[in-house]
Structures are given as structure tokens and as C-alpha cells.
């Protein structure tokens, strides 16, 4: 069996190594071949194609059983077009891992899955915390530091898979016993050919479910609810009026009380929504009970860079939400506070930024930064104070001047980081460092 793995970043390297461990013949390729990637290929003992053209790819794929594109390879890339021309199956790393797990001696272990435009990481980690509180060994895999092809080789009881559209697009059999779709908003339109193909990729999270699996959707997302009607599994909802919902400051489900919000370490609006989704997954599969959920929520602090509280300065709270790389995610963060100095902007992802500005009354001021600073300023034209500056340090200094006791200074960019930073993590780390230099603690 022969595979072309295209793209030698984290997921690509793990996929190539996992294929080799299963005695596949592997060849790799990348659009950018540098010393690091050449060294990786040499270490693995495999050929590395340097930015091959369409004809070269078609020739190589004619002798391959599968193409495994790295998550960063868009659906209109020439390697995808070459695979379609040769009829070569396109398989993501979560699809490969799922197929291998079905062949496991002793049988496959449970998988839970999370997708959505925003909130995937927090909900995934919250689900992991609930399973661990129930005494299970588990891991967050997929769009995390641990690709699923690596996780299945470890001794776990269950897996929680964070599913991006990039990974779901190239699945056929991938199935989770419980799968939650959190929301849908325009994003990654530089990767997908259209919003339609983005939505269709997300919908793959339910497509292979069995009739006793749980398909879980957010009541506040009309497009997700529309897709739920076609899900083959048991159709369940969370959010206002849903099967899992907030009722008098309590999380409740079909069987009654799950946990009181006062027992949650974090209970901002998005924390409650994510907790409902995670609770639905673990309860519907029977992998955890309400006591485990309550313990997990009592300790859960959330991931770095997603509404991460940095501290306070002179009565002003500071939050790092660098992971909010879409307008939808930034809007969720803005709804969590009532008096905000917002720092927003970054790299343009070709999406409408107006969604960020739907509740301008919450904003004391907006400081727009980065490549999209003028577009951000235009979106927030209704806010009394809107200023632009290119770089984050100047924005921090101005935020200190504009904030008053009771204000929240919020970095929630609504845009990617790649205009100035290598990742949203690097941007958030810089914001944290600058805030602490100002005396935030």
C-alpha cells in the first residue's frame, strides 16, 4: 500500500510516521521545502517532493492508494485536483485513525467529537475534564497538539476529537458515539471553495453515525439545526429551549439537574453553552455522571488565549482572547462584558467583520490594529471612541488611558494573527507580556 502525505507540519509528520508503522510505503511533498522539512524526510527515510506541479502530482498519485493532505492544504489545491483526476482517495488523519481504531485488538474505544466555527477547543477540553473526573483515561486529539493517529497508539479509555472542517472534509467512515456541532459562521473561506463546502464539511461529523449515537446541536444556530434534521443518530439539542439548557441558574438535561452555575469556576455565557454541549456528550454516552460533571466544572479554568483572565489594574479587568480569530468568536466575547475597551484586528480572512459590532453599547472604545485596522474601525463606526494603530504595544498603552474602574480591556481580534505573528498563541503571549509590564496582576 502506498500513500502520498502532502504537507510536513505536525499532522503531516504524524500521519507519515503512523503509516510507516503500519508498513505503508510513504512519499511526501510540500509547497515549501526548507532545511527542517528536508531533515524530517531524511529522518523518516522517505522521498520529499519539492513544490511539484500538477502533472508531477498526477503521475505520483496514479501509483498511490490514498492522498493524506495536511490540514493546511485547501480544497482547491493542485494536489487535491490531481487526486480527483486520478481517482485517488483523499483521507484526513482523523479518518485514517478511525479506520485503524476499528481494527484494534479488543475492539474500538469510544470517540466523542466536537466541531463548530468557534468554541471547539474549550468544549473539547471541558469534555476531557469531565471524563477524567469520571476516572477515565482520555485525551484531546485531532486539531490539538496530539493528532488522532498518535493518540490511538496510547493506552486511553476514550478520545475527544476536536474536528475542524479541514479534517472532516476528507472523511468517509469517521464516527463518534456523541458529536456536538456548536455553531456555524463564515470562516476559512480562503481554504474552502465556498460557504456551502464549509458547511458540508462540518456536517460530516454526523454523516456516519449509527441510529443509537447522539447528534447534538445548538438551538441558537439555525443552519446547524437545519442540518440536524438529516442526522442519522438520536437528535438532541443544547441551548435556550433545548434538551440541555440553563434553567434558573442551573444546567439541566432530560434527566434533571446537572450542576448549578454557582459551582462552576467559570460561568460566562459561552462557558455555560460549552458546558451544556460537553455534558450532553458524556451523559448521552454514559461515560460520566452528573457528579463527575460538577467536579470538572468546579475546577475548569479554560484554555489559554480564550477569554483568559490576566488580572486587574486599578479596577480594570484584562482578558486575553487571542484565539478569537473570527468575527463570530469576537462577538461571543463582547457579549460577556458590559463596559469594554476592545483591541481588535489582524490578518484579513475575507469575511464580513460587521458581526463583531452588533452590540456597540457594550463598548467604551475600540482600538483597531493590524492589517484590518481600517476595516475594523469602519465596522465599529457607531462606537464613540474608535482609534487605529498598527501594533499591539501602542494599543495597550492607549487602552490603559481609556479604561476606567469597572471596564474590561479585551483583546478579541476577530481576525487571524498572521499579519504580524506566527500564531494566535504568539499574539496572545505578547499581549499577556505587555499587560503584565503595565502592572496587570
- How many angstroms separate the CA atoms of 122 and 129, rounded? 10
User: Please, are residues 181 and 115 in contact by the beta-carbon 8 Å criterion?
Assistant: yes
Whether 188 is catalytic is yes
- Residues 159 and 281: their CA atoms lie apart, in Å, by 12
The residue annotated as part of the active site, out of 34, 76, 120, 156, is 120
**What DSSP letter does each residue of 21-45 carry, written as one string?**
HTT-EEEEEESS--HHHHHHHHHHT
Q: Which residues pair with 250 in a beta bridge?
A: 260
217 Rama sector, left if φ>0, alpha if ψ -120 to 50, beta otherwise: beta
Annotated catalytic residue, options 77, 156, 183, 188: 188
Tell me, yes or no, if 143 is annotated catalytic: yes
DSSP per-residue letters across 185-215: -S--TTTSSSHHHHHHHHHHHHHT--TTSEE
Whether the CB-CB separation of 247 and 272 falls below 8 Å is answered with no
Sort residue 126 into left (φ over 0), alpha (ψ -120 to 50) or beta.
Answer: alpha
Rounded to an integer, what distance in angstroms lies between the CA atom of residue 82 and that of residue 54?
A: 6
Containing 160, the helix (H) or strand (E) segment is strand 158-162
Q: Is 202 a catalytic residue?
A: no
What's the gap between Cα 20 and its chain centre?
28
Do the Cβ atoms of 438 and 399 come closer than 8 Å? no
**Residues belonging to the active site:** 120, 143, 188
Amino acid at each position: 500500500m502506498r500513500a502520498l502525505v502532502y504537507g510536513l507540519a505536525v499532522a503531516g509528520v504524524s500521519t507519515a510516521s503512523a503509516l510507516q508503522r503500519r508498513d505503508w510505503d510513504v512519499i511526501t511533498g510540500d509547497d515549501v521545502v526548507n532545511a527542517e522539512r528536508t531533515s524530517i524526510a531524511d529522518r523518516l527515510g522517505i522521498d520529499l517532493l519539492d513544490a511539484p506541479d500538477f502533472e508531477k502530482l498526477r503521475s505520483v498519485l496514479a501509483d498511490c492508494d490514498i492522498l493524506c493532505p495536511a490540514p493546511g492544504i485547501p480544497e482547491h489545491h493542485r494536489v487535491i485536483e490531481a487526486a480527483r483526476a486520478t481517482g485517488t482517495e483523499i483521507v484526513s488523519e482523523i479518518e485514517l485513525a478511525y479506520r485503524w481504531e476499528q481494527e484494534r485488538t479488543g475492539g474500538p474505544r469510544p470517540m466523542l467529537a466536537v466541531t463548530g466555527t468557534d468554541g471547539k477547543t474549550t468544549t473539547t477540553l471541558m469534555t476531557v475534564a469531565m471524563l477524567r473526573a469520571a476516572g477515565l483515561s482520555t485525551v484531546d486529539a485531532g486539531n490539538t497538539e496530539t493528532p488522532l493517529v498518535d493518540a490511538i497508539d496510547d493506552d486511553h479509555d476514550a478520545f475527544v476529537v476536536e474536528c475542524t472542517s479541514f479534517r472532516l472534509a476528507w472523511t468517509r467512515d469517521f464516527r463518534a458515539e456523541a458529536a456536538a456541532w456548536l455553531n456555524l459562521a463564515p470562516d476559512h473561506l480562503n481554504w474552502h471553495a465556498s460557504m456551502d463546502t464549509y458547511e458540508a464539511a462540518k456536517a460530516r461529523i454526523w454523516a456516519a453515525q449509527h441510529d443509537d449515537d447522539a447528534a447534538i446541536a445548538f438551538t441558537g444556530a439555525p443552519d446547524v439545526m437545519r442540518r440536524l434534521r438529516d442526522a442519522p443518530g438520536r437528535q438532541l439539542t443544547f441551548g435556550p429551549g433545548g434538551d440541555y439548557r440553563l434553567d434558573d441558574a442551573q444546567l439541566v438535561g432530560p434527566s434533571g439537574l446537572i450542576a448549578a452555575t454557582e459551582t462552576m469556576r467559570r460561568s460566562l455565557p459561552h462557558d455555560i453553552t460549552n458546558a451544556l454541549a460537553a455534558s450532553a456528550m458524556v451523559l448521552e454516552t454514559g461515560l460520566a455522571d452528573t457528579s463527575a460533571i460538577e467536579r470538572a466544572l468546579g475546577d475548569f479554568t479554560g484554555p489559554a488565549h480564550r477569554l483568559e483572565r490576566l488580572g486587574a489594574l486599578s479596577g480594570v479587568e484584562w482578558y486575553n482572547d487571542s484565539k478569537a480569530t473570527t468575527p463570530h468568536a469576537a462577538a461571543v466575547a463582547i457579549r460577556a462584558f458590559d463596559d469594554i475597551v476592545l483591541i481588535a484586528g489582524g490578518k484579513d480572512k475575507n469575511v464580513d467583520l460587521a458581526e463583531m459590532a452588533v452590540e456597540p453599547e457594550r463598548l467604551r472604545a475600540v482600538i483597531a490594529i493590524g492589517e484590518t485596522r481600517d476595516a475594523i474601525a469602519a465596522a465599529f463606526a457607531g462606537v464613540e471612541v474608535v482609534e487605529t494603530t498598527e501594533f499591539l504595544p501602542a494599543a495597550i498603552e492607549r487602552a490603559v488611558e481609556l479604561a476606567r474602574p469597572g471596564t474590561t480591556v479585551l483583546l478579541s481580534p476577530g481576525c487571524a494573527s498572521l499579519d504580524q505573528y506566527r500564531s494566535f498563541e504568539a499574539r496572545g503571549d505578547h499581549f499577556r507580556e505587555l499587560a503584565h509590564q503595565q502592572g496587570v496582576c
